[in-house]
Amino acid sequence: MRTVVSMVVVVLVAALLGGAWWLFLTPPAQTAGRPGAGGPPGGFAMPVEAAPVKVAPSRRELTAIGTLRSNESIIVRPEVSGRVIEIGFAEGQKVQKGQVLIKLDASVERAELVQAQASLALSKANFERAEELVKRGAGTARALDEARWKLRTDEAVVTLVQARLEKYTLIAPFTGITGLRKVSVGDVMPSGADIVNLEMVDPLKVDFRVPEIFLPAVRTGQPVALTLDAFPGRQFNGEVYAIDPLIDTAGRSIVIRARVANTDDALRPGLFARVTLTLGIREDAVFVPEESLIPVGDQQFVIKLLEPPQGAPVPPGARIAKTTPVKLGERRQGQVEIVEGLASGDTVVTAGVLKVRDGMPVQVVPSQPLAAAPTNSR
C-alpha cells in the first residue's frame, strides 16, 4: 500500500512540475487569443521596460583581407645591350610620363644612321634622274624600276636604324615613382637586364577574396573602406571595378579588385589591408535592442505595445502587449534590424518579456540603471 501511495505522489509531483515547465516554455504566440490570457482582471498592469524602435540606415557589409597593388607596375629593362651614359631619375622619386630614365651609348647607331641617310639621298637623286630620262625617252623602264627599288630599300634602312637608335633611350611609359636602381653610369647592360622598377601609386588597386555564397550580392560600383595597421585611425575609401569571372576552386572564393585613391602618396603597394565591402544600404531600416527578442524554435518574436481598446479596464497610461513575429536582418552594437513585423513609431518590451503574455495590460516603467560593481577597499 505504501508503494502505491508513493507512486501516486511521484506521478502527481511530476505532473505538476511538467505543467509548470510547459507553461514556462509555452511561446507567447501559442497563448494568443485565449480567454484570460491577458492576466488577472481588475485593472492590474504588469510593469515592464520598453523602448521605441529606431529608424536608421542599415548597411549590409562584408569584411575581408586584402593586399594593395600598384595601378601599373613595370621593371625597366633595355631591349638592346649597351653602356649606360646617363641616368635621368632619382631613386624613390616621382617621374613623369615621357621622362628620360636611362641613356645607353648609341654612337655606332648614330653613325649608321648618317650613313643610311647619305645612301638614301643618293638613291633619291638617282631615282629622280632616271624618272627624268624616261620622260625624255632616253632612259629605260628597267633602270627606273631599279632606281625606285633602291630608293625604297634605303628608306627602309633609315627607318630601321632610327627605330634601333630609339631603343638606346629608355623613357617612362607612365607617371609613377621609381624604386631603387640596380645600375650606375658606365655599366654595360645586356639586353633584358633589370634597371629599376616603376610603380603608379595613384590610384592603387586592392585585391581581396569573399566566399562564393556572396556571388549574387557582389557587383562593380560597390563602395569599399580600407583600414591599415600602418595608418591607425585612418580610413581609405574606394570602389569595386572588377570581379574575376573564375571562381577559385581551392578556396571556393571570388577575387574582387577595387580602386583606391592615393592623392597624397601615403599608401604603398604590398600593404596589408582590412577591407569592408558594402553590399547594400537601406535608408529607413528599423532596429530594436537585442534583449527584446523572444526566440521560439527557429522563429523570433517581440512584444509590441498597443493602445488599449476604448473602455478596457486598464490603469491610466497602461498599454496592451501584442506578441508579434519578426524577421531579422543585420546585427550591430546590441541592435538588431527588423526586416518584417515592425514599423517606425512602434514600441517593444525590452525587460520583462518572460512575464508578459499576449493581450496582457502592461505599464512602462523607467529603465533601472545597472548596479555598480563593489570595489575592494583596504
Q: What CATH number labels 106-166?
A: 1.10.287.470
Could you tell me the end-to-end alpha-carbon distance of the chain, in angstroms, rounded to an integer? 64
Q: Which CATH architecture does the domain made up of 62-72+201-281 adopt?
A: Beta Barrel (2.40)
Q: Which distant-in-sequence residues (6+ apart) come within 8 Å of 148 by Cβ?
A: 127, 130
Q: Which of 73-77, 165-169, 295-299 has the lowest mean pLDDT?
A: 295-299
Tell me, which fold does domain 78-104+168-194 have in CATH?
OB fold (Dihydrolipoamide Acetyltransferase, E2P) (2.40.50)
211, three cell numbers: 566566399
Write down the pLDDT at residue 31: 39
276, three cell numbers: 569592408
The yes-or-no verdict on residue 355 having pLDDT over 70 is yes
Residues paired with residue 287 on neighbouring β-strands, in sequence order: 54, 337
**DSSP code at position 186:** T
Q: Which of 4-18, 53-67, 144-158, 268-282 has the lowest mean pLDDT?
A: 4-18
- 5, 39, 171, 42: which is closest to 98 by C-alpha? 171
Q: In angstroms, rounded to a whole number, what is the distance separating the alpha carbons of residues 15 and 84?
A: 99
Three-state SS letters, 27-96: CHHHHCCCCCCCCCCCCCCEEEEEEECEEEEEEEEEEEEEEEEEEEEEEECCCCCEEEEEECCCCCCEEC
The yes-or-no verdict on residue 22 having pLDDT over 90 is no
Write down the pLDDT at residue 29: 40
Average pLDDT over residues 53-64: 86
State the pLDDT confidence band at 369, using cuts at 50, 70 and 90.
low
Helix (H/G/I), strand (E/B), else coil: 122? helix
- 155, 157, 158: which is closest to 127 by C-alpha? 155
Average pLDDT over residues 150-177: 94
Write down the pLDDT at residue 19: 58
Average pLDDT over residues 362-374: 66
Per the prediction, the chain carries an average pLDDT of 85
Residues spanned by CATH 2.40.30.170 within the chain?
Answer: 62-72+201-281
273, three cell numbers: 589591408
Candidate ranges 34-43, 117-126, 327-336; pick with highest mean pLDDT: 117-126
**In terms of pLDDT, which residue wins out, 41 or 317?**
317
Q: Percent of the chain beyond pLDDT 70? A: 86
The yes-or-no verdict on residue 313 having pLDDT over 60 is yes
CA distances from 351 to 27, 337, 339, 359 (A): 16, 18, 22, 17
Q: In angstroms, rounded to a whole number, what is the distance separating the alpha carbons of residues 237 and 1?
A: 83
DSSP string, 266-304: ---TT-EEEEEEEEEEEEEEEEEEGGG-EEETTEEEEEE
Residues spanned by CATH 2.40.50.100 within the chain?
Answer: 78-104+168-194
Going by CATH, does the domain composed of 27-58+284-364 fall within 1.10.10.10?
Answer: no
Write down the pLDDT at residue 187: 93
Are the CB atoms for 277 and 62 separated by under 8 Å?
yes
Measured at the alpha carbon of residue 256, what is the angle toward residues 254 and 259, in degrees to the nearest 5? Answer: 175
Write down the pLDDT at residue 3: 65
Residues spanned by CATH 1.10.287.470 within the chain?
Answer: 106-166
State the pLDDT confidence band at 285, using cuts at 50, 70 and 90.
confident
Are the CB atoms for 103 and 84 separated by under 8 Å?
yes
62, three cell numbers: 562584408
Write down the pLDDT at residue 11: 61
Q: Which of 4-13, 231-240, 277-286 has the lowest mean pLDDT?
A: 4-13
Q: Which residue has the cell 515592425?
A: 342
